[in-house]
Structure 1
C-alpha cells in the first residue's frame, strides 16, 4: 500500500509539473517573411531577445566550410550604428548578457536584459540583421579567434576530434560529413566578397525567427517596437536549398584515428538514425537513455560497475534536421580490449531487440523524459530557444507543449522494433580512437 501511495504521488507530481510547464505563446509573420513568437512570463523582471537563422554548416560549400560558425563570431564585430568593439560593452553596461551558437542546421543569437531594456535588445538584433559591417579587419580578427578556438577545443583537447571523425566516416554525400567549426584553410582562402555574399543570402528576415520572451509588459508596445525595428528590413531572395540523401549503411564500416592528446584508447560504435522530426528518433532517444545514459544505465552497470572491463561507457545522441547519429563509446580498462567491451555492448542491444524491456524500466524511462521536459522549459532562455527550434527546424511551435506526449505514448514493442531496425552491426561505423603511435617520438 505504501509503495502504491508513493507511486500515485509521483504520478501526480509529474502530471502537475507537466501541466505547470505549459508554454503560452503568440506567433505571427511580418510582411518581410520574418516569423515572430512572443512568450510573456512576468515571474522575473528579465527579457530575452533572440533570433535563430536557418543556416548551419550543412549550407556551406565543400571547399568553404566553417562559414556558418564564423558568422557566429563575425556578427558581433559591429554595425553601422554600433561601433566595432562596442557590442559587448553596450550589453554589459545595461545589465545584460549575450551569446550565440551554431549547429549543422541553424545559428542562434540572443541577449538577456532587465525587462526595461527590451527595446534595446530588439534594436541590437535588428542592427545585426539590417546593418552589419563586414569588412576585412573584422574578417581577419575573427579568423584568428576561430583558429584559437579550434586549437583549444579540438586540436589540443583530448578526444577533441571524435565527433568530426565519426561524421567524416558516417556521411558520404551529405554536408553533415564535415565539422561545424570547418576548415581553417578554407577560411584563409576565402575573399571578403564571399563572406558578404553568405550574409546577403542567409541573413535575411524570411530565413529567421524572432523570439521575445520574458516580462514583456505592454504587448501592444512590444509589437510596435518589433514592427519599427524589424518590419522595415527588406525581404531577401528565397533560398533554394539542396536535398542530400545518404544510401543506407548495409555493411560494417571501420576506421582508425590517432590522437596525440590521449593515453587511453576509446572504441566508438556509431549508428545513423533518422531525422529528429520522426517518431523513430524519439524512440531511439529512449533506447539511448536506457542503454547508456548515466551510471544507472544498462551498459555502465554491466561493463563498468559489475565486470570492470571499462573505465567509461556512454553515448552521445545527435538529433539533427536531416539525419541523426547514436554514438556509443567505451574506454577499455586493464587487459580488456575494445573488441571485448563492444561485444558486451552488443549483447545488451540484442536483448532489447529480442525481449521487451520491463514495465518498470519503461516507467523509469518516461519519468526521466518528464523530468527533462520540465527542466528544458524551466528558464526563459530555454523556452526561447525551444520555441525558435520547434518553429524553424520542426515546423510546429506547439511541440514545446506536445512533444512530451510522443514520449509518453512510446511502447515497449516500439522500443524493440526500432532497435531491430537501426542498431545492427552491419549498419554501423566502428571507430578505433587511439593514442598516436608517434607520440613518443614528438
Structure 2
C-alpha cells in the first residue's frame, strides 16, 4: 500500500508540472498552423484587383510566353489568360500570384491573336482586362506533318521525321480503298519523343495512294498530305543460303547446340545454346544482300519467359564482303557503327500478353510464344549481308543464352 501511495503522489507531481508545458506547446502549434495558411480561397473582399503591367511577349511554336508585373493588390489569387486558339475554341490558362509568367498555347495556326489578361482576387473578382497581341510561330503539329518523309515500306508506306518540341502528337495514316473509292484511316499513332517513324502495311507491291495528317492535344488538325507509291516487296529470306560466320568474340557453343541450328527451319531438336561469355553473340551470313523488314524469334519452350532465353536483343549488320571482328558496346542506339558493324535495332521480347508475371504465364501466353514473336526492323536499318545476333539480357539475367529458331523477312537485292 505504501508503494502505491507513493506512485500516485509522483503521478500528481508530474501532471502538475507537465500540464502548463503541454498547454504552452498546444498554443504554439496552433499559432503556427494558422500562420502557415498561405491562401484563403474564399474572401468577402469584393475589391477589384489592379491590372497587370509591363507586359512582354515571347512567341513560340503554337504558343507564347507572357511576362508581366503583378498589381499591388493584397487579395490577389491568380492571373487568368483568356484567348481563342481557332475559330470555335476558347482556352483559359491560369498561374498563381507566385509567378510573373503565363503560357498561352494551342494556337491552330501561325498568326496574330489577342489574349486578355486578368488579375483575379480570392473572391473571384476579375480586374479590368489587359489585351495583349501575340504572334505564335508555326505550331509543332504542322511542322511535323510538313517535314515527314514519305517513302515505300514493306507492304506499305513509311512516314519518318522529327518532333521538334517533343510535345505529344498523333499521326493519322490513310490508305485508299479501291472497293469503296474512299480512304480508310488506321488507329492513330501517338508520338511523344523527338523522332517519328511509323508505317502502314499489309498491301501488295502495286501502286496505291496513301495519306497522313497530324493532330495535337488541343484538337487542332493539319491538312492531309497525299502520295502515290508502290509498297516494297517482302518475302521470307531463304535460310538455306545462311551460313555460320564465326568471329573470335562470338560466344562459345554449349552442349552441341550449334549456331547453325538457329536457322535450320526446325523447331524440334536442337537450337542455339552458348556457354558463359561476356558477349552473348552469334554471327552468320545471309548468302545475299537484303533490306530486312522484320524477324521472327522462337524462344525455347516452355520457359520462354525465363532462364537463358533472350529478353533484350540487338541486331548488328554488315554489308562488307568479309566483315571483321570488333568490340561491340553493350548498350547503343540504332545507327551506331562499330568497325564493320552497324546497330540495326534494339528489341525487347514482350512480356506475357495476359499481363501475368513471366513465371505465371498461362496457356495462351505459351501459345503466343510458340507461334514465334515478330520484331519490326526500323526503316532506317541499312541493307546487309551479315548478321550478328546479340543478346544483351536473358530473362533470368544469365550470361549464356539459347534460342530455337529465327526467320528474317525483307527484300533481297540483286
Q: With structure 1 as the length reference, what TM-score do the two structures score?
A: 0.21
Who wins on radius of gyration, i.e. which is larger? 2
Structure ranking higher in helix proportion: 1
Higher RCO by CA contacts (8 Å cutoff, separation 6 or greater): 1
